[in-house]
Amino acid sequence: MAFLSALPFGLKAQSITDHYALLYSGMCFTFFEEDEGVSDQGFNAGVLFGYNITKKAVPLFLQFGGELIYEGTTDDGVEERLACLAAPVNLSYKLGHRKFNVEPYIGVNFRLNIHGNAKGEANSVKTDIDYFDSAVKARRFQFGANLGLNFNILDFTAGIRVNSDFTEYAKNVDSKVNRIMLTVGYSM
């Protein structure tokens, strides 16, 4: 690991035991329980704060933050768009060295759905549905679980996260949202 300390541009390793802020973005793949395969694809961007809850004795962190998720798909000429604001709260543990560590985490996710619609034309039928005002009756608030793994090298992070909802996406549709997110980020 000596080569990491010789990297240019004054890069420093994030401390395993310090507090941190992580700026991240990435790809997300959404699955609705009633669908087979990926329903939507999109991106996410956010900030996550890590606070050491053991007074630096053990690298155990409470993470909290916020992110924007935007997704969409086009199927047979109909475009579907979803957007939400999420607030993850996780418990994480950093395993490894200051310059390289692996960080598994588990937590909950609070999500506010701010946009959802389907618009277009398929088979000569025009579609313009607002998921919140239509028969779909999408919920504005959802609650679920997070499970993830980050790989931290110096101040850079690459991770994978799975979100699974406890609540249904809509009142009239028996389906929960599940997401896989691939992210990259920078810690400060």
Domain locations along the chain: 14-73+82-111+140-187
Are the CB atoms for 33 and 167 separated by under 8 Å?
A: no
CB atoms within 10 A of CB 46: 20
Which pLDDT band, with edges at 50, 70 and 90, does 12 fall under?
Answer: very low
The whole-number pLDDT of residue 141 equals 93
- Rounded mean pLDDT of the chain? 84
153: amino acid identity, one letter: I
Of residues 101 and 78, more confidently modeled: 101
The percentage of the chain sitting over the pLDDT mark of 90, rounded to a whole number, equals 48
Are the CB atoms for 159 and 188 separated by under 8 Å?
A: no
Instruction: Judge residue 28's burial from the number of C-beta atoms within 10 Å of its C-beta, 0-12 exposed, 13-18 middle, 19 or more buried.
Output: buried
Which pLDDT band, with edges at 50, 70 and 90, does 22 fall under?
Answer: very high
Which pLDDT band, with edges at 50, 70 and 90, does 34 fall under?
Answer: low
Architecture of domain 14-73+82-111+140-187: Beta Barrel (2.40)
Q: Does position 63 have pLDDT exceeding 90, yes or no?
A: yes
Give the mean model confidence (pLDDT) for residues 61-83.
88
Which pLDDT band, with edges at 50, 70 and 90, does 167 fall under?
Answer: confident
Of 57-61, 86-90, 134-138, the least confident: 134-138
Which pLDDT band, with edges at 50, 70 and 90, does 16 fall under?
Answer: low
